[in-house]
Structure 1
Amino acid sequence: MSLERIINVAFQVYAWLIFIRIILSFIRHNPYQPLIRFVYEITEPVLGFFRRFIPPVGMLDFSPLVAFFALELLRQIILNVIRALGL
C-alpha cells in the first residue's frame, strides 16, 4: 500500500469519526459506552480547537464543518508535499 493511499484512508476514517460524532449529537446515547467514548476522545482535540475560535450559534455547532474543510486542506498539503518529494 502506498504512502498516499495510507494518508487518504487515515483522513477518510477521521472524517467518518467526525460524521459519527455529529450524528451522536442528535440522538440520546450512553457517553460511557466504550465505542462512543472512543469517538469523543478521538474527535474532541480537533473539534475543541475550532470551537475556541467559532462559538456555537444557538444550538448549532459549526466546528465539525470547519474541521472537514481544514482536514481536507491539510490532506491536500500533505499529499502535495509527498508528491513533490517523490515518496
Structure 2
Amino acid sequence: MLWYVISTVFTVYSFALIIYILMSWFPGARQSAFGEILGRICEPYLDVFRRFIPPLGMIDLSPIVGIIVLRLAESGLYTIYAAIFY
C-alpha cells in the first residue's frame, strides 16, 4: 500500500513535468493560472539540472535528464522498499 502511494506521487510528478514541458510549445500557456501552478511545482526541480546542462540552441535537455533521474530515484526507492518490507 505504501509503495503504491509513493509510486503514484512519482508518476503524477512525471506527468506534471511532461505537461509543463509541452506547455512551452503554446504561446501564453505558461502564463495561465494552471501554467503558473505547474511552474511553481516544476521549476525548482528543473533548475537543479539547468545549472549543469546548458541548452543546445533552442533545445533544453534538462527536462529529459530530470525525468530520467526521477525514474531512477523511483527505481532505487523501490529496491530499498522491497529489501525492507519483503
The answer to whether TM tops 0.5 is: yes
What TM-score do the two structures reach when normalised by structure 2? 0.92
Residue 11 (structure 1) aligned with residue 1 (structure 2)? no
- Greater relative CO, 1 or 2 (CA 8 Å, sep 6+): 1
Q: Distance in 1 between matches of 2:75 and 2:30?
A: 33
Aligned position for 2:61: 62
Aligned position for 1:84: 83
Number of matched pairs: 86
Q: Distance in 2 between matches of 1:57 and 1:32?
A: 24
User: Structure 1 84/4 Cα, relative in aligned 2: closer, same or farther at 3 Å?
Assistant: same
Note the C-alpha offset of 1:85.
Answer: 1.0
Identity across matched positions, percent:
33
Structure 1 runs (4+) greater than 3 angstroms displaced: none
What TM-score do the two structures reach when normalised by structure 1? 0.91
Q: Distance in 1 between matches of 2:59 and 2:22?
A: 13
| Contiguous gaps of at least 5 residues in structure 1 | none
Note the C-alpha offset of 1:49.
Answer: 0.3
Q: For structure 1, which segment, 55-64 or 23-32, has the greater mean C-alpha deviation from structure 2 after superposition?
A: 23-32
